[in-house]
Chains A and B, each alone.
Chain A
Amino acid sequence: MLTGIWVYLAASPLLWLTVTLAVYLAGHWLFRRSGGRAFFNPVALAITLLVLILLLTGTPYSTYFKGAQFIHFLLGPATVALAIPLYLHWERVRQLFLPIVVGLLTGSITAILSAIGLAWLLGGSPRTLLSLVPKSVTTPVAMGIAEKIGGLPSLTAVIVILTGVAGAVAAPSLLNRLHIQDDAVKGMAIGVAAHGIGTARALQISSLAGAFAGLAIGLNALLTTLLAPLMVRLLHLTP
């Protein structure tokens, strides 16, 4: 009887959709209980809980994703929605045009080179190196880039998200230590390095930081799409 219900539920989208929302709420609850410490990142907590649940119930990722894809799908409209903070803070963006362009260019190249450089030094396999190239770009775009240059798109998706969590956890205190006070600069740096998860964090700093992080996601997606194949060829990386 119970197994029958389980078999039915485990195969329907409802269960995994609900579980995803529940672990998200649990992640936020734990984050608040910890006193809002950056180390207890709500996304990292939620993913850890979810992975434990999937492992304990022996659920394959593909079964889980069939249900959770409805949430994953919302990444598209959410990306479009970044036009709104951009519109609201356009005056500041226009004033900072040159700093944005120069910061973006150096940041984007640094993201690619630092990732493959460090992984190469520590013995990463060629496939891992290629999957790391678009690590600071927003998920759907990063997967497309990985496929084009010979990385593993699904591995890239995971790398992108862990990168975002790392950025969200550590970037604000690093920026304070560097004495960066301008929220526009903070948002831009977090957005270039840690895409949407960083932007979620930047939105907590201020709406202005969120707007610049959102702008950085879009610009970095464009730039890395163009830069990645070029740099892979220059560095003679092959899978």
Chain B
Amino acid sequence: MTGALTILLLFQLIGEVTVQLIGLPVPGPVVGMVLLFLSLRWRKALPDTLRATAETLLSHLSLLFIPAGAGVIQYGTLLADEWLALIAAMVLGTLITVAVTALVMQGVILIQHRMRQDG
């Protein structure tokens, strides 16, 4: 557990430092994720404790968004003034995005499938 947490923090740290050093336009933790993935592929093994810790952390992923979400109380007036535009963008915009992504990806999978059958 502690070992696994150290690994996660270590890769986050390496990610943050890499971003700062090279000036990448990408967040540190995302680079950390890529590097951890690469090192797992390279070692061809996933320690059980790391797997268990990661799965525990990810099963409570939604908890981690609560502090930032509560920031909504700072924007009472803005929400009152522009609620329609915001709700439309957040709800409709998100549904449109889900539908477009799913249909396009499904479509490409189908096309690939057909081309393989024909060829």
Contact = CB atoms under 8 A, between A and B. Distances in A.
Interface in B47-85: 50-51, 53-55, 57-75, 78, 82, 84-85
Nearest to A192: B101
Nearest to A25: B63
B12 A77 contact: yes
A232 B44 CA distance: 42
Given A123-B82, A136-B94, A84 B72 contact: no
A222 B26 CA distance: 6
Given A43-B65, A103-B105, A189-B105, A141 B73 contact: no
Nearest to B36: A83
A205 interface: no
B104 A106 contact: yes
B59 to A, nearest CB: 7
Nearest to B10: A80
A203 B106 contact: no
B106 A185 contact: yes
A215 to B, nearest CB: 10
B71 A196 contact: no
B17 interface: no
- Identify which of B9, B64, B73 gathers the most chain A CB atoms within 10 Å of its CB: B64
B89 interface: yes
A239 interface: no
Chain B interface, DSSP helix/strand/loop, else mixed: helix
B107 to A, nearest CB: 8
B101 A124 contact: no
Grouping DSSP codes into helix (H, G, I), strand (E, B) and loop, the A interface class, with mixed when no group exceeds half, is helix
A50 B61 CA distance: 17
Contact of B55 (A84, A106, A122, A159): A84
A78 B57 contact: yes
Given A77-B57, A99-B112, A185-B102, A162 B72 contact: yes
Interface in A14-57: 20-21, 23-24, 42-43, 46-47, 50-51, 54-55
A78 B55 contact: no
B88 interface: yes
A66 to B, nearest CB: 10
Interface of B: 5, 8-9, 11-12, 15, 25-30, 32-34, 36-37, 40-41, 46, 50-51, 53-55, 57-75, 78, 82, 84-86, 88-106, 108-109, 112
